[in-house]
Structures are given as C-alpha cells and as structure tokens.
Amino acid sequence: MRASERRHPCRFRLWSAASSTGAEAYSAAMILAEAAGTDGQLDWTILGTDISTRVLDEAMRAIYPCDQLDPVPQDLRARYTMSGRGTKESTGVARIVPELRRRVRFGELNLIDPPYPVSHGLDVIMLRNVLIYFTEAQQQQVIANIVGHLAIGGWFFVGHAESMIVQDHRLAQIAPATFRRKGD
C-alpha cells in the first residue's frame, strides 16, 4: 500500500472523571480494545481522574481481587487480565494486561477546582456517582465545566440516580443516565 493510500487512524478519547480505583476506566478500555481489533485504525486513549491519590495509586497498580472481576465476561477476563506468580485462582487477584494499561492514564483532579487540565473535544465523558457529593450549585457548575470538554456529538454518562441533576441546554438526553452534546 502506498503512503498516500494509508488511512489515518480514528482518534477516540474517553475521560472517566471521578475514576476511583479504575474499574470504570479499565472496563471501558476492554470494550475499546475489542472495538479497535488489530488493524490499528482506532487510536484510543482513556484518562481517569479523581481527587483521592489513594484510589489513584490503586488504579495505576491495576490489580483487582478476582471476585471484583466476576461481572466481566469470561472471554474479556481471559484476554485482558493476567496472573502474577501462581494462577489467578491461587492468588485471588488479577492484573490488567500492559496493552491496556499503556493506553489508560490517571491523574489527580478536583472537579470543584476548575479549569481542568484536560483536552477538549472528547468523545465520551463518564461522571458517575460523584455529583451526589456536591451542593446543587456545585453540581450545575461541574456539569457546565465538564460539558465544555465534550465534542459536539460526544457522549456523557452519569450515575443512574443522577439523571435528574443534569440540566445543561447543550445536552440531549438519549436514555436514563445517557446524554449527547448537541451542535452549537
């Protein structure tokens, strides 16, 4: 194939804001890795942020008790987690494989302290189960700040108990807890 015929990879950026220990970010990573396949045409990366450095340290270690991985389908668990010394069964823990860890970055970020040092034009932002910790005024401010980082047509997810909080005119509700950024 000539260089002029080579397609540029499609970029896909996801932000897990309030990522906690990284379960959400690595679950999304498994799905994106599956979607990307092996042809290199989907260049995906994930950013996980949280206010707590304790949970971020755990997220970066990417080691989880096997029972926490139980809800992950068996074929994905087999492809994207690995055991250290001994088997997953004997140690009771498993680690996310390096191929996924390489594409998932974590950093400290307080949602109540904008501006956020995060790229704009993101394809997906997950802001799940954290709005409940904020006052009403803080909730609307955080949503407004977050939506500013979303691409037109980008997807925004909140927790199932949080849909009613989202009232930003730039968003269309698609399903419970699921929103999409409208054109400006």
Dist. CA 71–CA 69, nearest whole Å: 6
Dist. CA 79–CA 82, nearest whole Å: 8
The residues in 133-162 that bind ligand SAM, with binding defined as CB under 6 A, are: 133, 159
138's enclosing H/E stretch is: helix 136-147
Stretch that binds ligand SAM, among 96-104, 110-118, 161-169, 173-181 (CB under 6 A): 110-118
Stretch that binds ligand SAM, among 40-48, 83-91, 105-113, 164-172 (CB under 6 A): 105-113
- Report residue 176: phi and psi, to 5°: -55, 130
CB-nearer residue toward ligand SAM: 10 or 133? 133
Contact indicator for 52, 159 with CB cutoff of 8 Å = no
The residues in 3-62 that bind ligand SAM, with binding defined as CB under 6 A, are: 18, 20, 24, 50-52, 55
Binding-site member from 41, 53, 110, 173 for ligand SAM (CB under 6 A): 110
Residue 129 makes contact with ligand SAM by CB under 6 A: yes
Dihedral, CA of residue 132, residue 138, residue 142 and residue 143, to nearest 10? 70
Stretch that binds ligand SAM, among 59-67, 97-105, 127-135, 172-180 (CB under 6 A): 127-135
Stretch that binds ligand SAM, among 5-13, 69-77, 82-90, 109-117 (CB under 6 A): 109-117
DSSP state string for 42-101: EEEEEEEEES-HHHHHHHHHTEEEHHHHTTS-HHHHHHHEE-SSS-HHHHSEEEE-HHHH
Q: Which residues bind ligand SAM (CB under 6 A)?
A: 18, 20, 24, 50-52, 55, 109-112, 128-130, 133, 159
